[in-house]
Amino acid sequence: MPGRRRCRRSYAEVPAYPGAVEFTPEELEALRLADIEGLTQIEAAEKMGVSQPTFHRILKEARRKASMAVVGGASIDVTGNVVRTFKCRNCGYSWKEPFTSGIMEAVCPNCGSVISPVRPGRRRRRRGCWKD
């Protein structure tokens, strides 16, 4: 059995940041310049037309949000192209729909039953542990 999981205390279950983390365009640009293009803060600040301390503040906030998304399981809402994955409990059919706020249910296009969205890639409700 490959990839047997160890039982360890899950820190991830303690802090949760529900809802989406929204980045401002400045924060995205700061992340891009600093972490993707690898510019120094002075270079990046110049490109964005802000002072270096201001750039530092923007970058810090952007990284905090990114960490909340990665560690805390918050979803990232940047462009509005967020989709929800639905899976029908009745027939097992799985499909995606554009994320629109407020709608918590969908109708299965396959069998017509009403179901709730599931979060893709999240397994937070683990019960118990596997023992070695």
CA dihedral 103, 108, 113, 117 (to 10 degrees): -40
CB of 69 closer than 8 Å to CB of 21:
yes
CB of 42 closer than 8 Å to CB of 97:
no
Residue 118 binding Zn ion, by CB under 5 A:
no
For the segment 52-91, give every residue that binds Zn ion (CB under 5 A): 88, 90-91
Least distance CB 86 / Zn ion (angstroms): 9
Of the candidate residues 10, 24, 67, 110, the single one contacting Zn ion (CB under 5 A): 110
Q: Which is nearer to Zn ion, 48 or 106 (CB)?
A: 106
Residue 95 binding Zn ion, by CB under 5 A:
no
What does the alpha-carbon distance between residue 111 and residue 52 come to, in Å, rounded to a whole number? 57
Sign for the CA dihedral angle at 71, 72, 77, 78 comes to negative
Q: Which is nearer to Zn ion, 40 or 94 (CB)?
A: 94
Least distance CB 110 / Zn ion (angstroms): 4
Strand, helix or coil at 128? coil
The residue type at 72: G
Q: Which is nearer to Zn ion, 19 or 120 (CB)?
A: 120
Residue 116 binding Zn ion, by CB under 5 A:
no
Which positions lie near Zn ion, rule CB under 5 A?
88, 90-91, 93, 108, 110-111
